[in-house]
C-alpha cells in the first residue's frame, strides 16, 4: 500500500482489505491520526468518536475473517455531514439551536451504510442548516480549504469536501439543495454527486427545502461515487418523495466501451461572471470530449436567468415552514430568559438561529404570507416548471449537459460579506435542483494560484449510470483526482 493510506480510493482499499494486506482497524486508525494532525488547520469536523469508529472497524475485520464481508464499503471510514442522523451521535446542523442534540435514530442512508459495513466516522461542519456557499455561516467555526487555508471550501457541505480533500475520510456524504455538494467539490478538487431527486431517501436528513434537498456522496474518483451511490440509493417507504425505480450496478456502467455521447453546452452558462481560468479549463474539457468522438452541440436553457430568483423564493418558503418546528418547546435550544410561552418562541429562535438562517426564514415567511403567496410562491413554482422543461427539451437533442460547476475558484475567507455575492456562487447549480436532475462535479484543472476547478455534468432524470460513465470517460484521461494538497 502507498504510504498515505488515507488518500487511497475505496476501490483500492477494498481490494487491499480483501487481500488481507490491510485491516480495517489499521485503516481507521490511520484516518484518525491524519485527522488529529490536520484538523486544527482544516476544521472540517464538528465532532468525532474514535472509540466507536475503531469498534466498527474491529467488527468489520471480524466479518472478513469469518468470510462474511459485505462488499466494497465494508471497513471503509466514511464521514457524514452533520445534518444526517446517526443514532446516539450529535446532530447539530452546525447551529446553536441544536448544539446539544443527540439523534435518537438513524437516517435511511446511515442504515444503508451500516448494512454495507462502512465505518461511520465523525460529524462534518456545514453552513448552519445547510444555508450558505462557504461554510462561514456555521455557528461552530468556519472550515478552511485544504488547498489554501486562507480560503473557503465552498458550502454548504464544506466540511464534507474539505475532510475528503485533506485525507480525513475515504469518502463523505453531504446534502445538495442548490449546489451544496457540487460547488464545494469543485472548490476542494474532489468528485461530488447530486443524485436525481427521489433516488436517495431523505428520511433522517434535517430538512432545509424539502422539494430540493438530496443526499449524495463526495469521493476521490467517479468509480468511488458509483460505489457509494449504489449503497445508498433505493426506495424508502418512510420518505413520501422516494421514487420506486430499479437501481442498476453503477460501478459496472463505467466501462470504457460506452459512448461516444452527444453533449450539450448551454450558452447561458458561459457568459458574464465566469472566471477566465475556470472558463478555459472547462473549454479544455469540452475539447477532450470532442477528441473522444462525442458530438458537441450548443443548446439553450432560456429560463436560466430566472433560476436564482425562483430558487430563493421556493427554498426560503420551504425553510420557513420546516424551521417552524424549532420553537424551544419540544427539543433544541430553549431560552432561559422567556417571560411566557409566546416570549419563549421569540427568545429561543432569536438566540438559536444565526443571521443567514433568520434572513431566509423572514424572506420565506413573507413570500408565503396572505396577499403575497400568489405573487411570489405560486408564480415561482410555475417558473420552476418552465425551467425543468428547458432541461427536458435539451435532452431530446443531447445525452448530457456540460457546464462549469462554480463561476469562480475558492475565494478568501471573509471576502464575500454581501449575501447576494454568495448566492451568485450557486448560479450554475441551482437549476439542477429546481429540475430534480442528477449532476456531478469532476475536477478539471487548477488555476495559476493552485486552486482546484470543477466541471459539471448534468444528466437526465434517473440517468446516473450514463452520467457516471460520461464523467469517468473524462477522468480516465486526466490525473486531477490523484493530486492532493500539501498540508
Residues annotated as catalytic (active site), given as ranges: 81, 156, 180
Residue-wise DSSP of 355-414: HHHHHHHHHHHHHHSTTTTIIIIIHHHHHHHHHHHHHHHHTTT-SEEEEES-SS---BTT
Report in angstroms the alpha-carbon separations of 343 from 66, 328, 338, 358, 359.
Answer: 59, 10, 5, 17, 20
C-alpha cell at 171: 469518502
Helices then strands, counting H and E runs in the chain, come out as 15, 11
- Asked if residue 78 lies in contact with residue 119, where contact means CB atoms within 8 angstroms, the answer is yes
Location of C-alpha cell 480516465: 476
Radius of gyration, CA atoms only, the chain: 21
- Asked if residue 124 lies in contact with residue 44, where contact means CB atoms within 8 angstroms, the answer is yes
Taking the C-alpha atoms of residue 146 and residue 485, their distance in angstroms, rounded to an integer, is 6
Residue 94 region by backbone torsions, left for phi larger than 0, else alpha for psi between -120 and 50, else beta: left
Largest CA distance in the chain: 71
The 8-class DSSP code of residue 151 comes to B
- Asked if residue 28 lies in contact with residue 17, where contact means CB atoms within 8 angstroms, the answer is no
* HEC letters along 356-371: HHHHHHHHHHHHHCCC
Taking the C-alpha atoms of residue 350 and residue 333, their distance in angstroms, rounded to an integer, is 10
Instruction: Classify the C-alpha dihedral 406-407-409-413 as positive or negative.
Output: negative
C-alpha cell at 426: 450557486
78 closest CA partner among 113, 115, 40, 130? 113
Location of C-alpha cell 435542483: 433
Taking the C-alpha atoms of residue 222 and residue 258, their distance in angstroms, rounded to an integer, is 15
- Asked if residue 97 lies in contact with residue 332, where contact means CB atoms within 8 angstroms, the answer is yes
Whether omega before 260 lies within 30 degrees of 0, making that bond cis, reads: yes
- Asked if residue 255 lies in contact with residue 127, where contact means CB atoms within 8 angstroms, the answer is no
Amino acid at each position: 500500500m502507498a504510504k498515505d493510506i488515507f488518500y487511497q480510493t475505496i476501490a483500492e482499499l477494498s481490494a487491499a482489505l480483501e487481500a488481507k494486506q490491510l485491516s480495517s482497524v489499521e485503516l481507521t486508525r490511520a484516518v484518525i491520526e491524519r485527522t488529529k494532525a490536520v484538523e486544527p488547520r482544516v476544521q472540517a469536523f464538528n465532532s468525532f468518536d474514535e472509540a466507536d469508529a475503531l469498534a466498527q472497524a474491529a467488527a468489520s475485520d471480524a466479518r472478513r475473517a469469518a468470510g462474511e464481508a459485505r462488499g466494497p464499503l465494508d471497513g471503509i471510514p466514511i464521514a457524514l455531514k452533520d445534518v444526517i442522523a446517526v443514532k446516539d451521535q450529535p446532530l447539530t446542523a452546525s447551529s446553536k439551536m441544536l448544539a446539544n442534540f443527540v439523534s435518537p435514530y438513524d437516517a435511511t442512508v446511515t442504515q444503508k451504510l451500516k448494512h454495507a459495513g462502512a465505518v461511520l466516522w465523525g460529524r462534518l461542519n456545514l453552513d448552519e442548516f445547510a444555508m450558505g456557499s462557504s461554510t462561514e455561516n456555521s455557528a461552530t467555526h468556519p472550515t478552511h480549504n485544504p488547498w489554501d487555508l486562507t480560503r473557503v471550501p465552498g458550502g454548504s457541505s464544506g466540511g464534507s469536501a474539505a475532510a475528503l480533500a485533506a485525507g480525513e475520510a475515504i469518502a463523505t456524504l453531504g446534502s445538495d439543495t442548490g449546489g451544496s455538494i457540487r460547488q464545494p467539490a469543485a472548490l476542494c478538487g474532489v468528485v461530488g454527486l447530486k443524485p436525481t431527486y427521489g433516488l436517495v431517501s431523505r428520511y433522517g436528513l434535517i430538512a432545509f427545502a424539502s422539494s430540493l434537498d438530496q443526499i449524495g456522496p463526495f469521493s476521490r474518483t467517479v468509480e468511488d461515487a458509483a460505489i457509494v451511490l449504489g449503497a445508498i440509493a433505493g426506495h424508502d417507504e418512510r420518505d413520501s418523495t422516494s421514487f420506486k425505480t430499479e437501481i442498476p450496478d453503477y460501478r459496472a456502467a463505467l466501462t470504457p466501451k460506452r459512448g461516444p455521447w452527444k453533449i450539450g453546452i448551454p450558452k447561458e452558462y458561459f457568459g458574464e461572471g465566469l472566471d477566465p481560468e475556470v472558463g478555459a479549463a472547462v473549454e479544455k474539457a469540452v475539447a477532450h470530449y470532442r477528441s473522444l468522438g462525442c458530438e458537441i452541440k450548443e443548446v439553450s436553457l432560456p429560463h436560466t436567468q430566472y433560476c436564482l430568483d425562483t430558487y430563493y423564493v421556493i427554498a426560503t418558503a420551504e425553510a420557513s415552514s420546516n424551521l417552524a418546528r424549532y420553537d424551544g418547546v419540544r427539543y433544541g435550544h430553549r431560552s432561559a430568559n422567556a417571560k411566557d410561552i409566546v416570549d419563549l418562541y421569540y427568545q429561543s429562535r432569536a438566540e438559536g438561529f444565526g443571521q443567514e438562517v433568520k434572513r431566509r426564514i423572514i424572506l420565506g415567511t413573507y413570500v408565503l404570507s396572505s396577499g403575497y403567496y400568489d405573487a411570489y410562491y405560486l408564480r415561482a413554482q410555475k417558473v420552476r416548471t418552465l425551467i425543468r422543461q428547458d432541461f427536458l427539451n435539451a435532452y431530446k437533442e443531447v445525452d448530457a449537459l456540460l457546464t462549469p460547476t462554480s463561476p469562480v475558484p475558492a475565494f478568501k475567507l471573509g471576502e464575500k460579506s454581501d449575501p447576494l455575492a454568495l448566492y451568485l456562487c450557486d448560479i450554475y447549480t441551482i437549476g439542477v435542483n429546481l429540475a430534480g436532475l442528477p449532476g456531478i462535479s469532476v475536477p478539471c484543472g487548477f488555476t495559476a494560484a493552485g486552486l482546484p476547478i470543477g466541471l459539471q455534468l448534468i444528466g437526465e432524470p434517473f440517468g446516473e449510470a450514463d452520467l457516471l460513465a460520461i464523467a469517468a470517460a473524462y477522468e480516465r484521461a486526466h490525473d486531477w483526482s490523484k493530486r492532493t494538497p500539501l498540508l
